[in-house]
A and B are shown apart, each in its own frame.
Chain A
Amino acid sequence: MTTNSTAVDVTEVTALAQRLRDSVGAVIEGKPDAVEMALVVLLAGGHLLIEDVPGVGKTMLARTLAKSIDCSVRRIQFTADLLPSDITGVAVFNPQTRGFEFKPGGVFANIVIGDEINRASPKTQSALLEAMEEARVSVDGTTHDLPSPFMVFATQNPIEMQGTYPLPEAQRDRFMAAISMGYPTRAAELDMLEHHGARNPLDDLRPVTDAAGILSARRKVGDVFVHSALKDYVVSIVAATRTSDALRLGASPRASLQLLRASRARAAVQGRGYVIPEDVDALTGPVLAHRVLLSHRAHTAHASTDDVLAGIVAATPTPRRT
């Protein structure tokens, strides 16, 4: 009794999500939450920032997901000497045609994996972030549309401070969600040694969908119904981050939009044609945490942004009765 003809039919999205989940899960073991978030962001049409220490599988997650989709994938290793034109592309003079010819940069792909994004100079970073926001690139007065779907997986290393340019808050706002992988459980790590010791698991991976499948799924996600009470709920939570004593910087209106889009995607991934408060609750942390800044007082009290956001969610009345 979960779906019927007149309700929003999200079975296609749910099935796609399950295929991707199985595919990624074969490589990334013991991280269902991170995989789920990556799927949600993918289907919501956002970009994902993965922050964690080296070696926990950030890049692997991105690559696995990318390889599960039959589409163009490019990986950019960000370094201090990377130039903006390496990202966006450059117009070069063609002696034969006696004209300038656009040579697309690394960003021209359906899925772009930006490794260690905080190693690049701010100028280069902003070139990528602009492309993320606009889904197009302007070089020498010419605008070049990026392929669709377009999604950026960026990873950054939070503890390595030497020679890094941490993303400014305004830039981080471009990412729909920020997640951290965390260390695997003991069992998962053992399992990993068992299965992945000999060969690269990515080699066996076959795509389970293509760019068109993702686009179609995204359209369906856009149809997922959100009750006005839940929109109100989202706005209440975001507004509360702006008035909270524990936060120096609250979430932007863009954050509200992305929280709602992510909630829709989560509902569809879980087989619902409508959003429930749990969707919003579960996504508030990943979607808002990287956008807000702790106040000095909260800092000295050793509170984390996740704690503060969980407190805000708990304090906001949940719309469960009509």
Chain B
Amino acid sequence: MRIDTRLGLALAVALPLQLLPWTQLTRHTAALQWGAFGILVVLAVGWALRRLHLPPLGVVLAQVATIGAVGLAGVWVLHGERQARRLLELPEQGIEFFRGSSAPLFPNPGATLLIVVGVAVVALVADWVGITWRRPAWSVATLVVLHLVVALGLTTFTLFSEFVLLAVGIGLVLLAASPWGGTDRPATRLASWGMAAVMTAAAIGLTWVSAQWVPAFEPRQTNEPLQMSDPSLDLKRNLVQGSDDVVIRYRTDSEGGTYLKLASLPALSAGGFALSDVRVATGRIPAPPGSPPGERRTTTVEVGEFQSEWLPVPYAPVSFEAPGDWGFALDTLDVMAMAGPDRGEATAGISYEVTSHEVRPDAEAIARAGSGGAPRAELTSHLPAELPPRIRDLAHEVTAAAPTAGAKAQALEAFLRSDRFTYSTAPTTGTGDGLATIDDFLFESQTGYCEQYAGAMAIMAREVGIPTRMAVGFVPGTQEGDAWAVTARDLHTWPELWLEGLGWVAFEPTPSRGESSGMGTPASPQPGSTAEPTGGETAEPTPEPATASPEPSPEPEPTAVPVPPVADAALGLLPWLLGGLVLALLVSTAVLAPRLLRARRRSQRLAGTGDPRADTLAAWEEVTEVVADVRLPWPDGSPRFVAERLVGSLGGGDERAAEALRSLAAASERALFDRSENFDLPGAWADEVAAITAALTAGARERTNAQPRRAARR
């Protein structure tokens, strides 16, 4: 087996092996599989094109094109056509995602692209260094790189078994590079084993040293005192007096828009929900508490005339890129401005992108959930002593039939959304979510707006043992094309309930604020918001006709009628595919054209013109070009001297080729310098040229095989 084949096979095994530990780094094993596929494709393309004697640059270009294609295909297959179309934005998004995430990573199209392309590029480098550059021992460094990524990405020291993988990979590559089972001296093999040992030791040392520095990736807590303001204070004024001017526009890949959350109010007193002490940190946002299942969403937000120290982000933010100095609360993951006199206006006029982990459990999942394991449960479960007993009774009464915490939450939500309560922001209703106001809302006026609905649910849920907190932010707003517009009147508050295994789940107890009060916006976003992130999809369908009806229309479409979207996707990707095809054609033309021209020249030269003299010279010229093809210098001198020098470069002591070369040289010399009318030699040299070409190519191969051995010994 030729050395490039051996080494290629070794790399094809060793490189994907190093991806196995990556499973600790990301939950998205499909991306890793695509990465491994990328490695194999890059190596295969390199191997095949080298077989065609393509110049090294051509090989690299083709491999780069391959990497691009595999990256695009990976994103398309794993994340859909829409993400594939955003290909150019994906790298930046992926970098942001990596920067803002901690292991294990969630699926993200940017991350997928970076992983697949990055891993394939590492394979390209290994291929180039090991095979094209003939430094197989150095290509081991690429294995170390793949290994180090894991070592650096994990805060814990890498396991022994992963060193074994690395050592196996290094051993494989070096064995492939060394003359395995050949006639070479044992010292050579010893040297390659020594090299393997040194490289492994270096990798272990490097990993260990770098592991010591990894804590730098942990979020840094700040001790700066920050004065926080409760964004719910102005809620009613905003709802009543707020203009219909759009204050926020955003685009998101979340179905039906997204709630933009400003702050969480976990502390409950007789006066209502309030902020608690906030532990602020900067750096990488930790995973949301409770490790809820969910989807990665990307939302780009443009804020207009809305001034706040709280950044409107979808819960739970994973990473964000916003101008200014932003930190986040470690408990609630709310994002807030960090410093400066203008903290209170930090959001005005900025644009930013947020990657979030969207928790949208279905009704069954909620119904099954318990309520254990809440962080800071003493705060989020606390009920003031002043809580009126009839509220406690009502809570138990409403949830009596529900077996689990999740079912109780659903029952409470359904109860509040029932006809019993009327949405109104009229001045006569109470303001805020103080216990007295809630009591009045539940038993006397039965009229209120979001603060009362949400407050009532949050308090009653605590009564039945579910930790809760209030969230302040915006409802999804109105869809305008592919963007969503949010006005000041969309300011909203909703309860978040802690459910075991789901983390903080947003509920929407507030029914439509539309017609009944006569004060809300006519084209209310409420149906959208009910279908939204809440656990509104309750088990009991009877009180929820409004929720059930708008939901099926947008939801089942992609699943029930799968054919049109797929066709659409294919159509949408068509320009990309065509572009890729044209690019691939251009690249392969650029790469193959010289070879085709070369083959054409060869056949023309050997075709014969009937003039033996010209034919002999053409055959000789073909030999000069073959010599150039195998990268030998053309010896200076007349043909006979050239032939004598070239005989040493023929592979395997090919006597027939040497004889052919000498005859052709003698004939060419006479064709060049002897009396032309005397020239009576045969003009057909095709067989001789074929023998010479084969022998020269074989000689070049022998030299290629001999060189890496020397490299391995060094």
- Asked if B389 is an interface residue, CB under 8 A from chain A, the answer is no
Find chain B residues with CB under 8 A from A278 CB: 637-638, 641
- Asked if A102 is an interface residue, CB under 8 A from chain B, the answer is no
Give Cα A225–Cα B678 distance, bound, in whole angstroms: 10
Known contacts A2-B666, A276-B638, A320-B638: A227-B680 contact under CB 8 Å:
no
Nearest Cβ on chain B to A277's Cβ, whole angstroms: 6
| A275:B667 contact, CB within 8 angstroms | no
Within 8 A of A (CB), among B668-703: 669-675, 678, 680-681
- Asked if A274 is an interface residue, CB under 8 A from chain B, the answer is yes
Find chain B residues with CB under 8 A from A276 CB: 638, 640, 669, 672-673
Give Cα A274–Cα B679 distance, bound, in whole angstroms: 12
Find chain B residues with CB under 8 A from A227 CB: 672-674
- Asked if B617 is an interface residue, CB under 8 A from chain A, the answer is yes
Give Cα A273–Cα B675 distance, bound, in whole angstroms: 9
| B667:A1 contact, CB within 8 angstroms | yes
Q: Which of A3-11, A155-163, A235-243 makes up part of the contact surface?
A: A3-11
Give Cα A2–Cα B667 distance, bound, in whole angstroms: 8
- Binary contact track A209-244/B, C-beta < 8 Å → 1, others 0: 000000000000000010101100000000000000
Which chain B residue shows the least CB distance to A223? Answer: B675
Within 8 A of A (CB), among B220-234: none
- Asked if A200 is an interface residue, CB under 8 A from chain B, the answer is no
- Asked if A322 is an interface residue, CB under 8 A from chain B, the answer is yes
Q: Which of A7, A8, A320 contacts B672 (CB 8 A)?
A: A320
Give 11 A-B pairs besides A1-B681, A229-B673 with Cβ atoms closer than 8 angstroms: A1-B663, A6-B680, A7-B670, A7-B674, A7-B675, A225-B678, A227-B673, A276-B638, A277-B673, A278-B638, A322-B671
Within 8 A of A (CB), among B408-438: none
Nearest Cβ on chain A to B593's Cβ, whole angstroms: 25
Within 8 A of B (CB), among A260-276: 273-276
Q: What are the 5 closest A-B residue pairs judged by CB atoms, nearest first? A: A274-B674, A225-B675, A276-B638, A6-B678, A227-B673
Give Cα A277–Cα B672 distance, bound, in whole angstroms: 10
Give Cα A225–Cα B672 distance, bound, in whole angstroms: 12
Find chain A residues with CB under 8 A from B672 CB: 227, 276, 319-322
Give Cα A274–Cα B669 distance, bound, in whole angstroms: 9
Which chain A residue shows the least CB distance to B676? Answer: A227
Give Cα A274–Cα B617 distance, bound, in whole angstroms: 17
Q: Which of B617, B640, B641, B681 contacts A322 (CB 8 A)?
A: B617
Find chain B residues with CB under 8 A from A8 CB: 675, 678
Give Cα A74–Cα B581 distance, bound, in whole angstroms: 89
Known contacts A2-B666, A7-B670, A322-B617: A274-B681 contact under CB 8 Å:
no
| B673:A4 contact, CB within 8 angstroms | no
Most buried by B among A2, A227, A276, A319: A276
Give Cα A276–Cα B670 distance, bound, in whole angstroms: 9
Residue pairs across A and B with Cβ atoms less than 8 A apart, 19 shown, are A1-B663, A1-B666, A6-B678, A6-B680, A7-B675, A8-B678, A225-B673, A225-B674, A225-B675, A225-B678, A227-B672, A230-B673, A276-B672, A276-B673, A277-B673, A278-B637, A320-B672, A321-B621, A322-B617
Give Cα A226–Cα B223 distance, bound, in whole angstroms: 98
Find chain A residues with CB under 8 A from B641 CB: 278
Give Cα A274–Cα B673 distance, bound, in whole angstroms: 6
Find chain A residues with CB under 8 A from B671 CB: 322
Which chain A residue shows the least CB distance to B624? Answer: A321
Range class of the A interface residue count: 20 to 34
Give Cα A8–Cα B669 distance, bound, in whole angstroms: 14
Give Cα A321–Cα B623 distance, bound, in whole angstroms: 13
Give Cα A276–Cα B681 distance, bound, in whole angstroms: 18
Within 8 A of B (CB), among A5-46: 6-8
Within 8 A of A (CB), among B622-644: 637-638, 640-641
Give Cα A277–Cα B641 distance, bound, in whole angstroms: 11
Nearest Cβ on chain B to A308's Cβ, whole angstroms: 20
Give Cα A273–Cα B678 distance, bound, in whole angstroms: 11
Find chain A residues with CB under 8 A from B680 CB: 4, 6
Find chain B residues with CB under 8 A from A273 CB: 674-675
Find chain B residues with CB under 8 A from A225 CB: 673-675, 678
Nearest Cβ on chain B to A221's Cβ, whole angstroms: 15
Which chain B residue shows the least CB distance to A3? Answer: B670
Find chain A residues with CB under 8 A from B670 CB: 7, 274
Give Cα A179–Cα B673 distance, bound, in whole angstroms: 28
Find chain A residues with CB under 8 A from B669 CB: 276
Nearest Cβ on chain A to B530's Cβ, whole angstroms: 87
Give Cα A320–Cα B674 distance, bound, in whole angstroms: 12
Give Cα A322–Cα B678 distance, bound, in whole angstroms: 17
Which chain A residue shows the least CB distance to B680? Answer: A6
- Binary contact track A280-322/B, C-beta < 8 Å → 1, others 0: 0000000000000000000000000000000000000001111
Which chain A residue shows the least CB distance to B641? Answer: A278
Give Cα A4–Cα B682 distance, bound, in whole angstroms: 13
| B638:A274 contact, CB within 8 angstroms | no
Known contacts A1-B663, A6-B678, A7-B678: A275-B637 contact under CB 8 Å:
no
Which chain A residue shows the least CB distance to B621? Answer: A321
Which chain A residue shows the least CB distance to B672? Answer: A322
Give Cα A186–Cα B559 distance, bound, in whole angstroms: 97
Give Cα A4–Cα B678 distance, bound, in whole angstroms: 9
Nearest Cβ on chain B to A169's Cβ, whole angstroms: 33
Find chain B residues with CB under 8 A from A277 CB: 638, 673
Nearest Cβ on chain A to B382's Cβ, whole angstroms: 98
Give Cα A4–Cα B638 distance, bound, in whole angstroms: 20
Give Cα A319–Cα B666 distance, bound, in whole angstroms: 16
| B666:A275 contact, CB within 8 angstroms | no
Nearest Cβ on chain B to A187's Cβ, whole angstroms: 25
Find chain B residues with CB under 8 A from A274 CB: 670, 673-675
Which chain A residue shows the least CB distance to B669? Answer: A276
Within 8 A of A (CB), among B650-677: 663, 666-667, 669-675
Give Cα A277–Cα B671 distance, bound, in whole angstroms: 14
Most buried by A among B641, B666, B669, B673: B673
Give Cα A278–Cα B638 distance, bound, in whole angstroms: 7
Give Cα A2–Cα B669 distance, bound, in whole angstroms: 10
| A275:B673 contact, CB within 8 angstroms | yes
Give Cα A225–Cα B681 distance, bound, in whole angstroms: 17
Find chain A residues with CB under 8 A from B675 CB: 7-8, 225, 273-274
Which chain A residue shows the least CB distance to B665? Answer: A1
Nearest Cβ on chain A to B131's Cβ, whole angstroms: 36
Which chain B residue shows the least CB distance to A7? Answer: B678
Which chain A residue shows the least CB distance to B675? Answer: A225
Which chain A residue shows the least CB distance to B620? Answer: A321
Give Cα A14–Cα B673 distance, bound, in whole angstroms: 19
Give Cα A321–Cα B673 distance, bound, in whole angstroms: 10
Nearest Cβ on chain B to A207's Cβ, whole angstroms: 33
Give Cα A319–Cα B638 distance, bound, in whole angstroms: 9
Nearest Cβ on chain B to A264's Cβ, whole angstroms: 12
Find chain B residues with CB under 8 A from A230 CB: 673
